[in-house]
Amino acid sequence: MKFDFNLWDIHIGNPHPFNERAPRIDNGTGRPDPERYHDRDFAAREWEQVFAKSWLLACPVSDVAEPGDFAKFDIGSESFLIVRGEDGEIRAHYNVCPHRGARLVQADVGAVNQFSCPFHSWKFDLEGTNTHITDEETFQPEVLCHDTDLTSVRCETVAGLVFISMDETIEPLRDFLGPVAEQLELYQIADMYPVQHRRSDWGANWKGGIDAFAETYHLHAVHPQTQGLMDDRTQIDLYPNGLVSRQFVPFAQPSRRYDDQDSVNPGIAMMLADAGIDPATFEGTAKETRAAIQKAKRKRSDDLGLGYERFSDTQLSDSTVYSVFPNVQIGCHPEAVFLHRFLPHPTDPNQFTYDTLILYRDVDAPGYSAPAWMGLGDDVDLSGRTRPEVVHTKLGDPPGLGEVLDQDSDLLPVVQAGAHSRGFRGPLWSEQEARLRHFHAELDKRMAQ
């Protein structure tokens, strides 16, 4: 069998600078030690070496749109408050009272003009400065000479996304994101807002989640229902320094593994309707729907002034998926953006929390809505006027994330169990899993430092 690094060409007939392949990066052919998926010492070092020294996606900028707006970001054993100050600056502080360590805030999002500790009512302004100490005269001045302000962390925004870092010396966020910063900016995420926010606890290591979401190789086996409307031939691009990668997942055309390449099946009909094409009058075959959708979305953009000139054709129809080291994946579409975060458990390497947020921007025009395949319920407010509550399902409960994600959450504990076996000597990744190798190579580099 002939081996080909470039896999498949999915952009035939659609040349565009955005689609150009990144120069190949060789991450070797090694087989990493599977202890990374379950060993407690590895997890503890990983927290120090990886999470404490990376930029971490905290919230979309729309969650802190106005002065006083805050968002809480919990990861591992830490909790952070991201808050917009009266001066318009977005800052981040540990969600910890300097008096006795109480968490200041329990809510996921909200608006305040100051933070007040629930334990003894110390108060802090939005910049984290202490403004009130209850019964201050009962403290020896030498005690209060120690810092009584909140501890702040680095906080920067790129492409409408707010990141924090516990590492004071980390490079600027834009450098960390490399070429992906500009690519994300095309989606104008700052104008989008959450329409769904779900969190669920899964019985696997967080990297098991990263691995499962960074390849389409498993679609035919785990999600066979996607085969009629989603191609698993993809283009994968790895970027230098190991921190980011991307993948195009063609939508609205059957997988090459799917027998019927001609009939417009119900999944593809749904995607035609999303683009404003009546499936009943569409005369082409399933192989022709992707191009028809690209054309229809261009026309809709021209009619409504959506500015899709900034996108390649494939960006209009496909999912353009980014990995941002260590624990973020971002699925980009002109209409909406999916943020996926894989949050390590504070102590147990066999659990993680999957946090998924759909960001959308409404367009006031007949027939324009969120694509049906996103699975947003009829009761979802697409206007952005109400920030949806975070729905959190606990371990053992079905996450209720829709058929595809529920299949993943069922499967991951099965993979996690096998990772513990003496008989498993580490993963053997194909080129379809090049993003996994890229991610683990960066992880290994940082763990060795």
The type of residue at 383 is S
Both tokens of 200, joined, read 């669920």
Burial 421-438 (b: 16+ CB within 10 A, else e): eeeeeebebeebbbbbbb
Residue with Cβ nearer ligand FES (150 or 401):
150
Residue with Cβ nearer ligand FES (122 or 439):
122
Per DSSP, the residues of 323-339 read EETTTEEEEE-SSEEEE
User: Using CA atoms, how far apart are residues 260 and 20, in angstroms rounded to an integer?
Assistant: 30
Q: How far is the CB of 118 from ligand FES (least distance, A)?
A: 7
Closest-CB residue for Fe ion? 408
Phi, psi of 411 (to 5 degrees): -80, -35
Q: How far is the CB of 102 from ligand FES (least distance, A)?
A: 4
Beta bridge partners of 359: 194, 337
Q: How far is the CB of 110 from ligand FES (least distance, A)?
A: 18
Q: Is 164 exposed, middle or buried (0-12, 13-18, 19+ CB in 10 A)?
A: buried
The item of Fe ion, ligand FES, none sharing an interface with residue 119, based on CB under 5 to 8 Å by kind, is ligand FES
Strands 152-158 vs 161-165: parallel, antiparallel or unpaired: antiparallel
Contacts of residue 168, defined as CB under 8 A and 6 or more positions apart, other chains included, come to: 154
Q: How far is the CB of 408 from Fe ion (least distance, A)?
A: 4
Cα atoms in the 13 Å half-sphere on the side-chain side of 419: 25
Looking at residues 392 to 421 of the shown chain, list those that interact with Fe ion (rule: CB under 5 A): 408
Task: Please tell me the count of residues contacting Fe ion according to CB under 5 A.
Answer: 1
Q: How far is the CB of 212 from Fe ion (least distance, A)?
A: 5
Q: How far is the CB of 71 from ligand FES (least distance, A)?
A: 21
Looking at residues 208 to 227 of the shown chain, list those that interact with Fe ion (rule: CB under 5 A): none
Q: How far is the CB of 91 from ligand FES (least distance, A)?
A: 19
Residue with Cβ nearer ligand FES (72 or 207):
72
Q: How far is the CB of 348 from Fe ion (least distance, A)?
A: 22
User: Using CA atoms, how far apart are residues 444 and 435, in angstroms rounded to an integer?
Assistant: 14
The item of Fe ion, ligand FES, none sharing an interface with residue 195, based on CB under 5 to 8 Å by kind, is none
Q: Does 318 sit near Fe ion (CB under 5 A)?
A: no
Report CA-CA distances (Å) from 157 to 164, 176, 191, 240.
9, 12, 14, 21
Both tokens of 142, joined, read 């030498």
User: Using CA atoms, how far apart are residues 388 and 380, in angstroms rounded to an integer?
Assistant: 8
Residue with Cβ nearer ligand FES (72 or 345):
72
- Assess contact for 251 and 230: CB atoms under 8 A: yes
Residue with Cβ nearer Fe ion (408 or 442):
408
Q: Under the rule (CB under 6 A), what is the footprint of ligand FES?
A: 97, 99-100, 102, 117, 119-120, 122
The item of Fe ion, ligand FES, none sharing an interface with residue 122, based on CB under 5 to 8 Å by kind, is ligand FES
- Assess contact for 265 and 229: CB atoms under 8 A: yes
Strands 235-238 vs 336-344: parallel, antiparallel or unpaired: unpaired
Q: How far is the CB of 132 from ligand FES (least distance, A)?
A: 10
Residue with Cβ nearer Fe ion (97 or 411):
411
Cα atoms in the 13 Å half-sphere on the side-chain side of 18: 20
Residue with Cβ nearer Fe ion (68 or 375):
375
The item of ligand FES, Fe ion, none sharing an interface with residue 408, based on CB under 5 to 8 Å by kind, is Fe ion
The item of ligand FES, Fe ion, none sharing an interface with residue 24, based on CB under 5 to 8 Å by kind, is none
The item of ligand FES, Fe ion, none sharing an interface with residue 99, based on CB under 5 to 8 Å by kind, is ligand FES
The item of ligand FES, Fe ion, none sharing an interface with residue 97, based on CB under 5 to 8 Å by kind, is ligand FES
Residue with Cβ nearer Fe ion (54 or 216):
216
Instruction: Tell me which residues touch Fe ion (CB under 5 A).
Output: 408
